[in-house]
Structure 1
Amino acid sequence: MTTAHELDERYGRTGRRRLPWIIGGTLAVAVIIAFGWMTVATQMSAVDADDLGFEVVDAHSVDVQFQFTAPIGADVTCAVEALDVEFGVVGWKIVDIAGAEHHTKGVHVRIPTVAEATTGLVKTCWVA
């Protein structure tokens, strides 16, 4: 009588079936680790900006207050804009901010405008 082991050897069903699964599992784990690290690295250098308020000074300027959260010590650049009644851009300014000892920093900016603005806001910020 033949045993199961003898039949496996006769028809080539030895431990080779596990090798593709081991290789596939190793590759899947490597891909998951790589994507996880890319996500963490991206978030570590991300900048988040929030509007705090604005004040229309006159027909040709508006003050904008905002805060941003960035990595400690990172120089940050922000685009700040002033909008009119129809949400058209009537003024904008690029603001360079030196790195700080804290994650969060408040900023006050005066934007020159070509017409009277009805609002001012921070458009975006990024690590310089």
Structure 2
Amino acid sequence: MTTAQQLDERYGRTRRRRLPWIIGGAVALVVIGAFSWMTVSQSIASVDADDLGFTLVDEYSVDVSFQVTGVQGKDVVCALEALDEEFGVVGWKIVEIAAGDSHSQAVSVTIPTVAQATTGLVNTCWVA
């Protein structure tokens, strides 16, 4: 009569083959967990800026209006640009926006330029 151990050996069902799968599964769970945490922690500290419009004040300045949406209770810094008709940078300004009570803030800033600008926009924003 054939024993259970002989059947396990004949058909390859041994305990030694499960161990690499268990270790591999545990490593995969740790890697997926670490990747998920990095993704979530980055999105928590992200800042979005939406251009609302611009107004050409005169030959040497442009007003840029934008809305910042991001981390509540933390200061935000934005880089603004004024561009000419060939998309060359004719003015720029770094703006520090103090932390507010709301999730988003509307801001209007005047950018000094060295030549006539045709547009003004937000280049990027980040948490200070």
TM-score bracket, shorter-length normalisation:
over 0.9
**What is the aligned-residue RMSD (CA, Å)?**
1.8
1:76 maps to a residue whose letter is V
The percent of aligned pairs where both chains have the same amino acid is: 69
Corresponding residue of 1:52:
52
Corresponding residue of 2:19:
19
- Residues 22-80 of structure 1 deviation map (CA, whole Å, 9 limit, x = unaligned): 11111111111111111000000001111000000000100000011111111100000
CA distance in 2, matches of 1:13, 1:53: 69
- Structure 2 counterpart SS, 1:106: strand
- Structure 1 counterpart SS, 2:24: helix
Corresponding residue of 1:108:
108
2:90 maps to a residue whose letter is V
2:43 maps to a residue whose letter is Q
CA displacement at 1:7 relative to structure 2:
5.4
Corresponding residue of 1:89:
89
Corresponding residue of 2:5:
5
CA distance in 2, matches of 1:84, 1:13: 73
CA distance in 1, matches of 2:5, 2:77: 69
In structure 1, the gaps of 5 or more residues are none
- Residues 66-118 of structure 1 deviation map (CA, whole Å, 9 limit, x = unaligned): 01111111110000010111111110000011111111111100000001111
CA displacement at 1:13 relative to structure 2:
5.7
CA distance in 1, matches of 2:43, 2:106: 21
- State the TM-score, normalizing by the size of structure 2: 0.92
2:125 maps to a residue whose letter is C
Corresponding residue of 1:71:
71
In structure 2, the gaps of 5 or more residues are none
CA distance in 2, matches of 1:89, 1:14: 69
Q: How many residues align structurally?
A: 128
